[in-house]
Amino acid sequence: MSRRGLVWWPVAATVVPVCLLFAGVSAPGGYFFMLSAAFVAWFAVGVAWAAGAWRVVKPLPPPRSGARTWWSLLVVPAIFATSWAVASGNAIGRVAFALHRPALERLAAEAPTSPPWSASLYSFEHLGHWQGCTTMGTSDPATTREAGLLWCPGRSPGTHWDGEGLILTPIEDDWYVYHHGGRSNDPAGTEPWGLDLDRFGRRIET
């Protein structure tokens, strides 16, 4: 394979970890398995990129003929940094919710009594009712002990959840997102969406 091919194959391969990363943070609390797969995929891309970079840098190509190849080495790090920054915020979660809200409302209205509970990108481990609201708990959350969506048509959920250690955040109209303040003694000022490596880990039931 040519040196140019060794450089551009990792660039094309970044599609896999980026999609996994964004899907992993699409739900409140994130998906542990999806994010773990994204990390593994990024590691594989990084190894391939490093091998290609070594093949390019080692022979030290002439500055003019190798200029495009040198610049191409910056593409993978740029994609990595950009996708990581986007995944760390709440943009992916809010956009995913807006796009899939009709499917979520159908699921909440139908309220099936047995799994699987899913709607497009969303996978839930439980679906229940509380004070006139429908609760939809994220499956295997990655960055909090408990997280999910709350649909309260025509009413407000009030503050009754405070005693459970859960934080409610309004999204749109009758929809809210909830998440636990932390896995143990973490501060309560956390966001329901986005990647937070300090909190990443498989939930341990107690």
pTM to 2 decimal places: 0.83
Q: Which helix (H) or strand (E) holds 148?
A: strand 147-151
Q: Which regions in the chain score pLDDT beneath 70?
A: 1-7, 57-71, 158-165, 181-190, 203-206
Residue 186: predicted pLDDT = 47
Residue 13: predicted pLDDT = 92
Residue 33: predicted pLDDT = 94
Domain borders along the chain are 3-88, 91-180
How does DSSP classify residue 193?
S
In 10 A of CB 188, how many CB atoms?
Answer: 10
| CA 83/CA 78 separation, integer angstroms | 8
- 18-59 residue pLDDT tens: 999 999 999 999 999 999 999 999 999 999 888 877 777 665
| CA 70/CA 108 separation, integer angstroms | 52
| CA 27/CA 129 separation, integer angstroms | 19
Residue 3: predicted pLDDT = 53
Residue 139: predicted pLDDT = 92
Q: Which amino acid is at 152?
A: C
Residue 59: predicted pLDDT = 58
Residue 65: predicted pLDDT = 47
Residue 185: predicted pLDDT = 44
